[in-house]
């Protein structure tokens, strides 16, 4: 479609007074003035499109950057880090020449608007990040949070999100091995759909997002570019230049997992033949992001001819092409003599591939349209030198009141009958109930390397068939704890994920995080964010697990009501031989049950306080990271040396929740004895951190006790695997059949 | 000497490498076949594996059925070449009319992934001789379109001729008629089923059972002894 005149760089310089819709595109006045200052003239429409989208909160991290720096500044010494924060995803050395890349991201807002496509494209985006590092994706995980389980809108959002994750991930052939599902009224209207992925490669196959070598070609491949996912660009395109044009385009992208599967295979084939110099996936901000990041990370500049971009809709304006977030596209930098072979591989996989530009020896990113130069910028100013805000933050007034409302003072069960009823109520509550209705919609088996999948403590994938080398991943986050104390809440999220990885026998190595918060313009939310980041960075330093990358999602709030601060932490671990992994399920009757760690009266933010009293107040469980580290060492040693046959970490719901899960999964009951010094209620429901329950074969009892004793980990014998009831001696006995009905019936009944 | 068993990769095939591994675990030699191949590289048997060929945006298997590799496959299968279709492969075989019936979307309208109990009804096909008739096994199942349907005449005929190879036990996961999980052709060389035996060949992986391995040892014995 022709437009007169084309807003070229020349035209912009000659018409300084033309008003541009910078405010509608989300830029602040001073931000727009900064663009003008950088360019020394007003931006063209295309340039404005690029700056506005790349300087958005989502792409620039402008509110969070000053805090996120701590992850680098406090990063512990680690031999395992191969690629750190700033690339598409971090890369960790797992030994035997293998490297693993992993990352967690959010797709929260789109998933509320259009649950199926929002969640599906969330999986698609994170998987492309993994491919862009040079790795074959081997698994996905999905930490999810929804509004109240019985709210009518949850019935709209949840099944769509789950079907979208399944529909996309299953069709890609990626086993879904973990994640979480949490319900809380605070997520009503702001569900959290986080998606994580893991990829595996050899060290020498690591690829980076950079365009180097003048004369190298820039190839766009994958799906055609359409009008989906264009936020503000349509305003720019229609209102400024062309009033006759329909302006509203769908803001949520639509996924095509089949196309993405082809993209994975053809990209990996190109990597295998060493055809790729640099690579970037097209996600948020589409071509604007890919071209500016590739160019600014490389040694030269880049020239792109936008007319060559294959389009799904021929009426798209150049601004829209630059901002389109059409899915399943990637951008590769390829040496000229290898271009033919690269295109051949794309053709083999029926993937459209087009040379759209080349690397230049200058330092400018220049983009042409219909022969005119419509973009001429220093790519660094677009990709990396966006605004940075030191937003004000302040501990909210209500924090003291909240912490003073002590959950330890809530009425406790007075009779054995009441205790039993509360156990049944707990294991049947939506947050504690079995999520198999959800997870059975995900393929766990594809690729034939899944050693453990949900509901295990961590998902585990074998990466070498000969040696048995494997990786484990767990994601955790407890918004209730973080609301009570964001600093320690974030540390508890890390501690739980770290413990979960160790419980399965793997050694925790590195961290990725997805930080979900309300509006950064609210000083109370900003304080929560600052505290959580500080807490997480401190804890990562102490545990020796560096943050390799992640994602921040702000503005998760409706009106004044923000979600609970919800830092979701993913911990990646390595296990030398997956044959030594420890499952959750009880394996054999007669094995002895031991509780590792200390149990205190800690009920603030607990599942019990929520389920029985609908209460949130007090302080979360105490954090002791040295204890977590010791516990992890013991669990890993015990797994390696065959001293334990099953293990389960204790977290929300406390000991009774863990024992019930192990019993139901193994189809074997347990007899429990309340240890000296503890009352039955605290024994069963406390959520003290740094604990796990293990089942020890009788032949290993002495050796196991000696090890714990020698290393100073408190260990208490609490019972035995036995029978078909969970029997808390002197209190109650619940048949497994009754527990199963309670535990497994809830979610299907709510969502049918 | 061992047998060479081909595994076809269509665009969107997912379990091709897994199936090759299962063939290796059983002691045979896997041979990768590409959907555009016009010959079968002289393999002794073929597995059409699971996945979403062409995204299954039309009926599952409906497009893959027209791939170039299907021409020699049809011809040789009719002449006795052993062919196993797993999940999407089963769907392709029904679309190609090598096996009767068709698959609809699961009756509950959700994708389902579970460890599924089956009964081996026919232990005399090329792919099932290492089972015994009536044997109960557990094989992972994972599909969106697994509801087996056919007209009553066809179903009666299949049952009368012993051509129902596998039935779902305890729980029908997708609404399949008469609990049918897999069927065979008259000659017993072509077998299709929805569950995934290639995901049950190693004790540590997946559900931790090896109940799927006899598929691959059955065919190996048959081919090596032939």
DSSP one-letter string for B32-97: EEETT-SS-TT-SEEEE--B-GGGG-SSTTTTGGGSTTHHHHHHHHHTT--EEEETHHHHHHHHTT
The answer to whether A440 faces chain B, any CB pair under 8 Å, is: yes
Q: How far is residue A318's CA from residue A230's CA, in Å, rounded to a whole number?
A: 12
Q: Which residues of A255-283 are buried (b: 16+ CB within 10 A; e: fewer)?
A: bbbbbbbbbbbbbbbbbeeebbbbbbbbb
Q: What percent of chain A has pLDDT over 70?
A: 97
Per-residue pLDDT tens digits for A418-442 = 999 999 999 999 999 999 999 999 9
Task: Give, for A321, the enclosing helix (H) or strand (E).
Answer: helix A318-323
**Measured between CB atoms, does B66 come within 8 Å of chain A?**
no
> In the predicted model, is pLDDT for residue A247 greater than 50?
no
The pTM of the full predicted model, rounded to 2 decimals, is 0.95
pLDDT at A232: 53
Say yes or no: ipTM exceeds 0.85: yes
Q: What's the rounded Cα separation, in Å, for the pair A453 and A468?
A: 17
Average pLDDT over residues A557-581: 95
**Residues tagged in the binding site annotation of A for substrate:** 106-109, 128, 253, 325-327, 553
Strands A301-305 and A353-360, how do they pair? antiparallel
Q: What average pLDDT does range B170-195 have in this prediction?
A: 98
Residue A240 pLDDT greater than 50, yes or no: no
Q: Write down the domain spans for chain B.
A: 4-225
Q: Which residue of B has its CA nearest to A437?
A: B112
Given CB atoms, is A389 within the 8 Å cutoff of chain B? no
Q: DSSP label at A730?
A: T
Average pLDDT over residues A363-383: 94
Which of A68-77, A267-276, A372-381 is predicted with the least confidence, judged by mean pLDDT?
A: A68-77
pLDDT of residue A228: 79
Task: Render pLDDT for A114-165 as a digit per residue (tens, 0 to 9).
Answer: 999 999 999 999 999 999 998 999 999 999 999 999 999 999 999 999 999 9
| Cβ atoms B212, B19 nearer than 8 A | no
Using one digit for the tens of pLDDT, what is the confidence trace for A518-544? 999 999 999 999 999 999 999 999 999
For residue B196, indicate whether it is catalytic.
yes
Question: Does residue A291 lie within any of the structural domains?
Answer: yes
Residue A59 has a pLDDT of 87
The region that residue A4 occupies, defined by phi over 0 for left and psi between -120 and 50 for alpha, beta otherwise, is: beta
The whole domain housing A323 covers 9-63+207-383
Specify the higher pLDDT residue, A18 or A502.
Answer: A502
Which positions of A are annotated as active-site residues? Answer: 58, 107
User: Residue A593 forms beta bridges with which residues?
Assistant: A695, A719
* E strands, A370-479, in order: 372-377, 450-452, 459-462, 470-476
CATH class of the region B4-225:
alpha beta
How many domains does chain A divide into?
Answer: 1
Rounded-to-integer distance, Cα A84 and Cα A67, Å: 17
Residue of A206 and A608 predicted with greater confidence? A608
The CATH number for A374's domain is: 3.90.650.10
Give B141's strand partners: B114
User: Does the CB of A445 have a partner CB in chain B at under 8 Å?
Assistant: yes
Q: Compute the mean pLDDT over every residue in chain A, rounded to the nearest whole number.
A: 93
Peptide bond into A455 cis (omega under 30): yes
Residue A568: pLDDT over 90:
yes
Calculate helix-pair angle for B16-26, B213-225, nearest 10 degrees: 60
User: Closest approach of chain A CAs to the CA of B97, in angstroms?
Assistant: 25
Mark which residues 340-359 of A lie under 8 Å from B by CB: 349-350
The residue of chain A with its CA nearest to that of B88 is A171
């Amino acid at each position: 479609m022709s437009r007169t005149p084309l807003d070229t760089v020349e035209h912009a310089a000659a018409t300084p007074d033309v008003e541009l819709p910078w405010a509608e595109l989300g830029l602040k006045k001073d931000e727009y003035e900064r663009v003008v200052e950088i360019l020394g003239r007003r931006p063209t429409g295309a340039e404005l499109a690029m700056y506005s989208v790349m300087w958005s909160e989502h792409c620039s991290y402008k509110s969070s950057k000053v805090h996120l720096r701590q992850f680098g500044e406090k990063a512990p010494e680690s031999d395992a880090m191969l690629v750190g924060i700033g690339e598409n995803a971090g890369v960790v050395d797992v030994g035997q020449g293998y490297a693993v890349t992993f990352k967690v991201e959010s797709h929260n807002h789109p998933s509320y608007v259009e649950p199926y496509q929002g969640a599906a494209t969330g999986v698609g985006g994170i998987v492309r990040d993994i491919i862009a590092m040079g790795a074959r994706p081997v698994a996905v995980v999905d930490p999810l949070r929804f509004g109240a389980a019985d709210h009518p809108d949850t019935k709209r959002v949840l099944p769509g999100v789950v079907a979208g994750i399944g529909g996309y991930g299953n069709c890609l052939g990626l086993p879904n091995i973990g994640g979480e599902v949490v319900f809380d009224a605070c997520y009503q209207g702001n569900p959290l759909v986080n998606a994580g992925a893991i990829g595996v490669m050899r060290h020498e196959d690591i690829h980076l997002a950079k365009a180097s070598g003048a004369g190298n070609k820039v190839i766009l491949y994958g799906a055609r570019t359409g009008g989906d996912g264009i936020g503000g660009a349509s305003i720019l395109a229609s209102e400024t230049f062309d009033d006759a044009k329909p302006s509203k385009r769908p803001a949520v992208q639509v996924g095509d997992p089949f196309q993405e599967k082809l993209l994975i295979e053809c990209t990996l084939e190109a990597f295998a033949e060493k055809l790729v110099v640099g690579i970037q996936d097209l996600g948020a901000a589409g071509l604007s992001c890919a071209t500016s990041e590739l160019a600014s990370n490389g040694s030269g500049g880049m020239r792109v001819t936008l007319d060559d971009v294959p389009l799904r809709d021929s009426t798209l304006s150049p601004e829209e092409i630059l901002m389109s977030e059409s899915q399943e596209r990637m951008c590769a930098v390829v040496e000229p003599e290898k271009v033919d072979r690269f295109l051949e591989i794309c053709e083999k996989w029926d993937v459209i591939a087009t040379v759209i530009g080349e690397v230049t020896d200058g330092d400018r990113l220049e983009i042409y349209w219909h022969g005119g130069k419509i973009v001429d910028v220093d790519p660094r100013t677009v990709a990396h030198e966006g605004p940075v805000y030191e937003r004000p933050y302040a501990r909210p007034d209500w924090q003291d009141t909240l912490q003073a409302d002590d959950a330890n003072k809530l009425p406790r069960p007075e009779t054995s009958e009441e205790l039993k009823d509360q156990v049944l109520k707990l294991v049947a509550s939506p947050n504690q109930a079995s999520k198999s209705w959800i997870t059975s919609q995900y393929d766990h088996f594809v690729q034939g390397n899944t050693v453990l999948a949900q509901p295990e403590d961590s998902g585990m994938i074998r990466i070498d068939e000969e040696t048995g080398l494997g990786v484990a991943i767990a994601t955790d986050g407890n918004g209730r704890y973080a609301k009570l104390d964001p600093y320690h809440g974030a540390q508890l999220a890390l501690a739980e994920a770290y413990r979960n990885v160790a419980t399965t026998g793997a050694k925790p190595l590195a961290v990725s995080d997805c930080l979900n918060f309300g509006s950064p313009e609210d000083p109370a939310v900003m304080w929560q964010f600052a505290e959580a980041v500080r807490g997480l960075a401190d804890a990562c330093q102490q545990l020796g697990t560096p943050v390799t990358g992640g994602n921040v999602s702000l503005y998760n709030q409706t009106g004044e009501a923000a979600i609970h601060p919800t830092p979701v932490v993913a911990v990646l671990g390595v296990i030398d031989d997956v044959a030594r992994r420890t499952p959750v399920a009880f394996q054999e009757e007669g094995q002895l049950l031991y509780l590792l760690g200390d149990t205190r009266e800690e009920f603030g933010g607990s599942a019990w306080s929520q389920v029985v009293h609908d209460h949130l107040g007090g302080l979360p469980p105490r954090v002791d990271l040295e204890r977590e580290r010791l516990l992890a060492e013991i669990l890993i040693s015990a797994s390696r040396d065959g001293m334990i046959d099953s293990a389960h970490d204790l977290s929300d719901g406390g000991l009774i929740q863990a024992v019930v899960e192990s019993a139901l999964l193994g189809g074997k009951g347990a007899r429990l004895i309340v240890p000296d010094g503890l009352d039955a209620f605290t024994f069963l429901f406390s959520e003290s951190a740094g604990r796990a329950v293990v089942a020890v074969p009788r032949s290993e009892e002495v050796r196991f006790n000696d090890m714990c004793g020698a290393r100073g980990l408190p260990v208490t014998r609490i019972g035995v695997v036995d029978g078909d009831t969970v029997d808390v001696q002197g209190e109650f006995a619940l048949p497994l059949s009754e527990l199963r009905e309670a535990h497994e019936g809830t979610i299907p009944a709510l969502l049918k | 000497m061992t047998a060479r068993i081909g595994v076809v990769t269509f665009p969107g095939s997912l379990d091709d490498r897994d199936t090759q591994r299962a063939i290796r675990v059983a002691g045979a030699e896997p041979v990768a076949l590409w959907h555009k191949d016009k010959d079968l590289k002289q393999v002794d048997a073929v597995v059409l594996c699971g996945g979403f060929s062409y995204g299954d945006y039309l009926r599952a298997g409906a497009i893959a059925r027209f791939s170039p590799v299907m021409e020699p496959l049809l011809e040789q299968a009719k002449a006795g070449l052993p062919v196993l279709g797993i999940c999407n492969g089963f769907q392709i075989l029904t679309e190609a009319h090598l096996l009767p019936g068709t698959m609809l979307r699961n009756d509950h309208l959700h994708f389902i992934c579970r460890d599924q109990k089956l009964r081996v009804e026919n232990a005399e096909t090329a792919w099932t001789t290492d089972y015994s008739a009536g044997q109960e096994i557990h094989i992972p199942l994972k599909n969106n379109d697994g509801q087996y349907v056919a007209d009553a005449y066809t179903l009666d005929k299949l049952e009368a001729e012993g051509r129902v190879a596998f039935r779902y036990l305890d729980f029908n996961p997708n609404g399949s008629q008469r609990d049918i999980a897999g069927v065979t052709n008259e000659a017993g060389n072509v077998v299709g089923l929805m569950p995934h035996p290639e995901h049950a060949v190693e004790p540590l992986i997946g559900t931790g059972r090896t109940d799927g391995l006899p598929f691959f040892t059955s065919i190996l014995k048959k081919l090596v002894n032939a």
